[in-house]
Chain A
Amino acid sequence: MNRRQLLDLYFLEARGKLIDLAAFLDRIERAGGADDHRLEAFRAALHQLTRDAGGKPRAETVLLLMSDPTVEPLDHAPAKGATGAWPGPV
């Protein structure tokens, strides 16, 4: 599909998601309180979206930015769940 066809197919959906993101950030800001590692990673990812990606896939870049970059296994599993963004070394 060409760019026009993809815009026809996905623009409104992406526009809706973009406004949702904006509303999410407004909601967080209204709530006050401290940021945590998730919001910091989220903001860093947003910054990546607006940069000239130079051909590097943005989805992969965002996923890598949220990921644990370390290579050593943990001594024990701290819990079962994941938060969505790496909090840093434990």
Chain B
Amino acid sequence: MARTITATPSPPMRYIEPHAHMVSRVTDDYERLALAGCVAVCEPAFWAGFDRSSAAGFYDYFRQLTVTEPLRAAKYGLQHYCWLCINPKESEDVKLATEVIELIPPFIKNTNVLGIGEIGLNKNSRNELKVLEMHVDLAARLGQLVLVHTPHLEDKLKGTRLILDVLKNERRLPPERIIIDHVEEHTVRLVLDAGHWAGMTLYPETKCTAARAVDILETVGREKLWLNSACDWGVSDPLAVPKAALEIKRRGHPEAQIEDVLFNNPKKFLSQSPNFKLD
């Protein structure tokens, strides 16, 4: 019989985990999230660590995101939402991407789908750009929110600029309905100045540490920023968000600021989707 939590001992805060790849996590992580005060977890479609051999693999993955994961999360009192796409790491194959994108519209009808994501770029190639444009067109046609992945490490700056160019040319999508994720010090202003929301991912080595994320909050403001763990099958921490809350507190900021960044901001952005309803 699955373990269920019937009573949680006064969580220190409530928060939303806006980016977590729970299909890669053990069930114990749902329990840890719930105990830390998480009320909802949002899961963008991503790379499995290997390339799927056909669109059928994505069909099964979308069923996992829309049917299986909400049930796993519910056992711990967590709401589960998801985003659908073919991720940038598999976007070099335009034929496969076209087939996968054709699978998406029927899945959009599921009540836990928030929009199209995490789309974007990986190595900033022409094919990746073509698939990004196809996703953006799909989101515009279906009136969906968009979550954008920016490339890793040395490719992030160029990729962010290319992504912003694509989005600037798509007038059907208001910038405030798009969140651009994995920003760091050199890209956060580019994103915010374009009118988008920005996500900071808390990774120990390859993205933001908690201390750097708080630096960014202090220097650019917290109005359109959120924090996420992006926990997946790699080096990552599903409790990175509550740990960052502790960092904000250690810096002497009031609890209200923590509530803004960890709960009110993601709620405000995600509530633009009619499917996002906190119980």
Residues of A participating in the B interface, judged by any CB pair closer than 8 Å? 1, 5, 9-10, 57, 59-60, 63-64, 66-71, 73-86
Contact = CB atoms under 8 A, between A and B. Distances in A.
Contacts of B161: 71
4 tightest A-B contacts by CB?
A77-B123, A67-B157, A82-B153, A63-B186
B124 interface: yes
Nearest to B208: A59
A67 B162 CA distance: 14
A1 B214 CA distance: 13
A82 B158 contact: no
Interface of B: 47, 89, 92, 122-129, 151-158, 161-162, 184-186, 211-212, 215, 219, 250-252
B44 to A, nearest CB: 17
A82 B150 CA distance: 13
23 contacts: A1-B252, A9-B251, A10-B211, A57-B219, A63-B184, A66-B154, A67-B154, A67-B158, A67-B186, A69-B157, A70-B158, A71-B161, A73-B129, A74-B124, A75-B126, A76-B92, A77-B127, A80-B89, A80-B122, A80-B123, A82-B151, A82-B153, A82-B154
Contact of A79 (B123, B185, B219, B252): B123
A82 B92 CA distance: 16
The interface centre, meaning the residue of B123, B126, B152 with most chain A CB atoms within 10 A of its CB, is B123
Nearest to A80: B89
Contact of B212 (A1, A59, A69): A59
Given A1-B251, A63-B186, A74 B157 contact: no
Contacts of A71: 158, 161-162
Given A1-B251, A73-B126, A74-B125, A66 B158 contact: no
The interface residues of chain A, by DSSP majority, are classed as loop
Nearest to B215: A59
Nearest to B189: A60
A63 B206 CA distance: 11
A84 B122 CA distance: 13
Given A70-B158, A82-B153, A76 B89 contact: no
A86 B124 contact: no
A1 B248 CA distance: 12
B212 A77 contact: no
A78 to B, nearest CB: 7
Contacts of A66: 153-154
B227 to A, nearest CB: 17
A72 to B, nearest CB: 9
A73 B122 contact: no
A22 to B, nearest CB: 18
Given A9-B250, A73-B162, A83-B153, 4 more contacts: A59-B215, A60-B186, A66-B153, A68-B154
A82 B186 contact: no
Contacts of A75: 125-126
A79 B89 CA distance: 9
B133 to A, nearest CB: 12
B186 A64 contact: yes
The interface centre, meaning the residue of A9, A57, A60, A68 with most chain B CB atoms within 10 A of its CB, is A68
